[in-house]
Chains A and B, each alone.
Chain A
Amino acid sequence: MKLSNEKILSMYDTMLKIRKFEEKAMGLFAEGEIPGFVHLYLGEEAVATGACATLEADDFITSTHRGHGHIIAKGGDMNFMMAELYGKETGYCKGKGGSMHIADRSKGILGANGIVGAGHNIAAGAGLSVKHRGTDQVVLCFFGDGSTNQSTFHEALNLSSIWKLPVVFICENNGYGISMSQERHQAIKDIADRAVAYNIPGVTVDGNDVFAVYEAVNEATKRARKNQGPTLVECKTYRHRGHFEGDPTMYRTDEELQEWLEKDPVKRMEKFMLENGILGQEDLDSKTAAIDEVIATAVKFAQDSPKPSLESAVENVYSDIVEEVKVR
């Protein structure tokens, strides 16, 4: 498959935005600027980027607790994202959701989700909606290896297969469910093997190679748009940081981390572009500086934004909130 230089550059932009956003979030969390938890996507940038690069604006994604990368790749606004991380009123969830609940219906982002495995059936539901409405939209469902032991994974694959729903299930297999290595939580190594049980195609690709992800997901979305049903795409990848910021990662070795750092998807992309004359080092440097500025703007936007009022604590929580709770 051939990709234009414009497309390649656009994918690189997305990867770099994710990388820079996450690095900034890491620093801000360490400084105590960001409350709650953050689960960083550092090291997995190629998956969200390659997958979302196959989508149209009106397609959907569902995300996970490690969702910043998916949201940026689907066009989420980094100002609103950063404000949400800061817990500010201008954030995507008015500062009440935090890192793990960012959603933007206007962009087809059906939500990050703090519950492991909760996205599978939301994706299947969105797929059912597409089917009923008769459009050619697709739904990308991102999830980790750990969630494939949840019943929701199996329910969603089963129904999506039976009803031939336009859903692409994208497993970001980073080898660990929190601190539990994959070999300790399941008796298979390739999660794509599970597709066979639901009579759908399953493929495994190098999740640190944005082109490999793009090619596989592109073929899967083409199938979905042609009413040929769901696909399971497993992307082998690795998170550079712990499960959450503050995780001491005692369950993995420095050597293992080092091996994966050598396969860093952003560096691989940069090397590819330099070797193929798509970008020169100067262009690369100026792109990096430009994205640094975008991130700095997002941080400033978040810092300058007001905190939500105390009164708003019960607003937008329940759709039918009773009067007495409002009074309280």
Chain B
Amino acid sequence: MTTIGIIANPASGKDIRRLVSHATVIDNNEKVNIIERVILGAQTFGVKKIYVMPDSFMMGFKVMEKLELSGELNVEIEILDMKIKASPKDTQVAATMLEEMQVGCIVVLGGDGTHRLVAKAINKVPLIGISTGTNNAYPKMLEGTVAGMAAAAAATNAIDYETFCERDKIIEVSKNGELVDIALMDVVISDEIYIGAKAIWNLETIKHVIVSNCHPASIGFSAILGANIKIEETDDFGAALKINSGTNHFLAPIAAGSIVRVTSEEVQRINLGESFTLEPDYKGMIALDGEREVSFVKGDLLSFKILRNGPRHVVVNRILESALENGFFQR
């Protein structure tokens, strides 16, 4: 049976960056609408069963009810049987379940942080990310209907989706030789000492930025590198930059509507498989994909390795172009 999974983070798009930048609020009713369109897109193109992560806003149930009432539901929807913690753990648990079930594709609604959690749990199942977060470098602004169609193309094996998936790079974060976490897009080293509101925004406290990918069209902290160098998904390297130090001055969009002047040293390239190491003489926090997550103390040895063993993401345009050539739309 052709199946896909949907993970929608009810907490994405609501953090403090609504106050410290001009970030958009994406409320949960809008996420319900997006899920609805993903389902309609996917069922039309052959998906028979869709698993949805349960959440405190009951998005999956709401979509089911809505589509049943309108008589448009032609696919079996199953809410994953898991206990809701209303915490980031929910995303990881759901992603692990969907990976174990080997669904054909997972559609994720969230920001970089949500996708990082999914990336920690999946390896084989391909991923389509829809941005409902804040400074999103990893997931794209994508119409739900199209995401559903692309997920169907991937899941039905109508297309050789291996050709249309890219294996993502990740940044492995180690402390004193022990792997502690990963990031998908960027790592920020700050001398703030608490997690607080999680999101990181205060440039003055930031010492280093490390990225797996960056582009001048990025937003968020990877944009600090993106204002200096372009690193594509397919490039076998990442980079690090020491900021608030040096003689390199430039402007970078570090948050929605917030373009700031940054001073840095020179960009340091990090090849695939290589590590960038630091031994800070201060205590602080490591932010992973925009969220403060890992604390360290003075003298800890921090290591950041770029690897290509992240999730496989579906390149939506490419898979649908191929679908076109293969008569996917001729039904």
Interface residues of A (CB under 8 A from B): 1-3, 183, 188-190, 192-193, 195-196, 201-206, 209, 211-212, 214-216, 219-220, 223, 231, 272, 276
Contact = CB atoms under 8 A, between A and B. Distances in A.
B1 interface: no
B10 A219 contact: no
Contacts of A195: 25
A205 B16 contact: yes
A205 B17 CA distance: 11
A220 B28 contact: no
Given A212-B195, A212-B196, A272-B194, A2 B19 contact: no
A201 B283 CA distance: 32
Interface string B240-280: 00000000000000000000000000000000000000000
Nearest to B199: A215
Contacts of B194: 3, 211, 272
Contact of B19 (A189, A193, A201, A206): A201
B25 A196 contact: yes
12 contacts: A1-B202, A2-B192, A2-B205, A188-B28, A203-B16, A203-B19, A205-B15, A205-B197, A209-B196, A211-B197, A216-B19, A223-B19
Contacts of A193: 14, 25, 27-29
A189 B57 contact: yes
A206 B16 CA distance: 11
A189 B14 contact: no
B56 interface: yes
A212 B14 CA distance: 13
Interface in B191-247: 191-198, 202, 205
A202 B202 CA distance: 20
B189 to A, nearest CB: 15
A1 B190 CA distance: 10
Contact of A220 (B19, B192, B195, B205): B19
A220 to B, nearest CB: 6
* Residue of A2, A192, A203 most packed against chain B (CB within 10 A): A203
B330 to A, nearest CB: 41
B198 A190 contact: no
Given A201-B19, A201-B25, 20 more contacts: A188-B29, A188-B57, A189-B10, A189-B57, A190-B28, A192-B14, A193-B27, A193-B28, A196-B25, A202-B18, A203-B15, A203-B197, A205-B16, A206-B197, A206-B198, A209-B195, A209-B196, A212-B198, A219-B19, A223-B19
A91 B283 CA distance: 46
Main secondary structure of the interface of B (DSSP, over half): loop
B283 A216 contact: no
B192 A1 contact: yes
A276 to B, nearest CB: 6
B38 interface: no
B196 A214 contact: yes
Interface string B1-39: 000000000110011101110000101110000000000
Contacts of A196: 25, 27
A206 B192 CA distance: 18
A204 B15 contact: yes
B14 A215 contact: no
B20 A219 contact: yes
Given A2-B205, A196-B27, A204-B14, A211 B195 contact: yes
Nearest to B18: A201
Contacts of A215: 16, 196-197
B18 to A, nearest CB: 4
Contacts of B11: 190, 204
Contact of B16 (A189, A190, A219): A219
B19 A190 contact: no
A223 to B, nearest CB: 7
Nearest to B194: A211
Contacts of B58: 183
Contacts of B20: 219
A201 B27 CA distance: 12
A162 B20 CA distance: 21
A231 B19 contact: yes
Contacts of A203: 14-16, 18-19, 197
A202 B16 CA distance: 8
A211 B18 CA distance: 17
Contacts of A209: 195-196
A276 B19 CA distance: 28
Contact of B197 (A188, A192, A212): A212
B16 A276 contact: no
Nearest to A278: B193
